[in-house]
Amino acid sequence: MLSVHTSPLHQPGTGDAGGMNVYIVELASRLAAINIEVEIFTRATEGGLPSSVELAPGVLVRHIDAGPYEGLAKEDLPGQLCAFTHGVMRAWARRRPGHYDLVHSHYWLSGHVGWLAAERWGVPLVHAMHTMAKVKNASLASGDTPEPASRVIGETQIVNASDRLIANTAEEADELIRFYDADPARVAVVHPGVNLDRFRPADGRAAARARLGIPQNAFVPLFAGRIQPLKAPDILLRAVARLLTDHPSLRSRVHVPVVGGPSGSGLARPEGLQKLAASLGIADVVHFQPPVAQEALADCFRAASTLVMPSYSESFGLVAIEAQAAGTPVVAAEVGGLPVAVRDGDTGILVAGHDPADYARALHRLIADPALTARMGEKAARHAESFGWDRAASATADVYAAALCEHRRRVRSVHV
């Protein structure tokens, strides 16, 4: 596996670490459990790191030196792909011939390294986009920076070079075909999973609130993720401000945790969200927290009344499934893979568009009817059970098998 721009060892929720990190860690671990050994190549982001780290039995993370350890923005990484590829090839040269059976690259930067590695090693390339420039640019948040043309060109090249493309949802598969002219026969849909051992209702909302110091009678709309315009945490704050303007008696009950750190274009204004809360007059109800480890995040989900995801674009939205697995309904934008992750009116509420007033109405619907919140939470936990990582790993293994079979057939036909 290749993950150039973010390490699976990094804490999700800040910098460039997010759902993709969780995806790679969980998928690799479950693949190893079914006897598919995985080596993950990633860029070293600090000095003194060991050349390799065992992430789980059968899963090795390899650190590659490529560019400065710190202070290198993701936008500058294309200039380091040659150095990264050189490091991957040096590691490969120490292995016996035929050591790697297949390359699975994640995100477009890794795809370019994977393209070269797969050709050099004579193995198939499986690629997962995770996000796509053309899709993101079609639904940019106000003031956000569009993805550059170089990324669009790079993604198009990777689509053409890949033996198989893994899409999170049928909609993402359609986008690959519509925007990038992908061959439908080479696109496979594999829903991401959720760690059902970690994200579960456990001992319930009351116990989680007691551990986190959240009042038992509070209404708690939670934002959890990277702080950047794409994820639209500002819409939650504006919705809360609208809710309290329309229903001022609720102020003493509303408690809004925002869990995450600045990322992407959000790094240009790291204090922007705190300033927005103050300007909206809701600084007293909004509680900012840094990213937390997965076990602590599960407790945050259990303590919340609802998770709010007003994103402008999501290839899937792992946190939506994680929150539901913990028994918490989700209020989310009706974009990308979120309509797959959330069953509208059943396990949460989907909102068309990004008008804070619409989110305020959705929040009021839940706060006015606690029984609805409880029913949705119970259904959400059952819904999430169908998204286990074991199923995702099995489906991914099937994609690998198909890619290998087709690749061998193609090689044989060349030699005949």
Query: Is residue 404 domain-shared with residue 380, that is, in the same domain?
Result: no
Measured between alpha carbons, how far is 318 from 329 in angstroms, rounded to an integer? 14
Query: Is residue 233 domain-shared with residue 346, that is, in the same domain?
Result: yes
Mean pLDDT of 260-273: 71
Per-residue model confidence as pLDDT tens digits over 198-232: 999 989 899 999 999 999 999 999 999 989 899 99
Measured between alpha carbons, how far is 339 from 361 in angstroms, rounded to an integer? 19
Query: Is residue 298 domain-shared with residue 188, that is, in the same domain?
Result: no
Residue 284: inside a domain = yes
pLDDT value, residue 14:
59
Measured between alpha carbons, how far is 211 from 105 in angstroms, rounded to an integer? 39
Domain harbouring 168, CATH code: 3.40.50.2000
pLDDT value, residue 416:
60
Q: Is the pLDDT of residue 13 over 70?
A: no
Q: Is the pLDDT of residue 312 over 70?
A: yes
Query: Is residue 339 domain-shared with residue 378, that is, in the same domain?
Result: yes
Burial class (CB in 10 A: 0-12, 13-18, 19+), 397: middle
Residue 199: inside a domain = no
Residue 409: inside a domain = yes
3-class DSSP assignment, residue 413: helix
Binding residues for UDP-N-acetyl-alpha-D-glucosamine, by number, are 11-12, 19, 226, 231, 292, 314, 322
Q: Is the pLDDT of residue 241 over 70?
A: yes
Binned at pLDDT 50, 70 and 90, residue 74 comes out as: confident
Quickly tell me which residue has 């986190």 as its tokens.
212
Q: Is the pLDDT of residue 24 over 70?
A: yes
Query: Is residue 230 domain-shared with residue 180, that is, in the same domain?
Result: no
Mean pLDDT of 59-74: 88
Per-residue model confidence as pLDDT tens digits over 389-399: 999 999 999 99
Please, what's the b/e burial string for 291-301 (b: 16 or more CB within 10 A of its CB; e: otherwise)?
Answer: bbeeeebbbbb
Residue 102: inside a domain = yes
Measured between alpha carbons, how far is 345 from 329 in angstroms, rounded to an integer? 10
pLDDT value, residue 278:
97
Query: Is residue 79 domain-shared with residue 110, that is, in the same domain?
Result: yes
- Enumerate residues 6+ apart whose C-beta is below 8 A from 138: none
Q: Is the pLDDT of residue 414 over 80?
A: no
- Cite the DSSP H helix spans in 253-388: 272-279, 294-303, 318-325, 338-341, 356-368, 370-384
3-class DSSP assignment, residue 1: coil
Query: Is residue 168 domain-shared with residue 271, that is, in the same domain?
Result: no
Cβ neighbours around 325 below 10 Å, total = 27
Residue 287: inside a domain = yes
Mean pLDDT of 251-269: 81
Query: Is residue 220 domain-shared with residue 321, that is, in the same domain?
Result: yes
Query: Is residue 221 domain-shared with residue 350, that is, in the same domain?
Result: yes
In the chain, the percentage of residues whose pLDDT exceeds 70 is 96
Query: Is residue 371 domain-shared with residue 252, that is, in the same domain?
Result: yes
Over the chain, what is the mean pLDDT? 93
Binding residues for 1D-myo-inositol 3-phosphate, by number, are 5, 16-21, 74, 107, 131, 151
Query: Is residue 216 domain-shared with residue 364, that is, in the same domain?
Result: yes
Residue 200: inside a domain = no
3-class DSSP assignment, residue 265: helix
Measured between alpha carbons, how far is 127 from 3 in angstroms, rounded to an integer? 11
Predicted TM-score (pTM) of the model is 0.88
Least confident of 18-22, 148-152, 195-199: 18-22
Range of the domain at 212: 205-385
Query: Is residue 251 domain-shared with residue 232, that is, in the same domain?
Result: yes
- Beta strands at 164-167 and 38-43: parallel, antiparallel or unpaired: unpaired
Binned at pLDDT 50, 70 and 90, residue 267 comes out as: low
Provide the Cα torsion 296, 300, 302, 305; round to 10°. Answer: 180
Binding residues, by number, are 5, 11-12, 16-21, 74, 107, 131, 151, 226, 231, 292, 301-302, 304, 314, 322, 328
Binding residues for Mg(2+), by number, are 301-302, 304, 328
Asked if 226 and 266 count as a contact pair (C-beta separation under 8 A), the reply is yes
The structural domain count of the chain equals 2
pLDDT value, residue 266:
52
pLDDT value, residue 415:
67
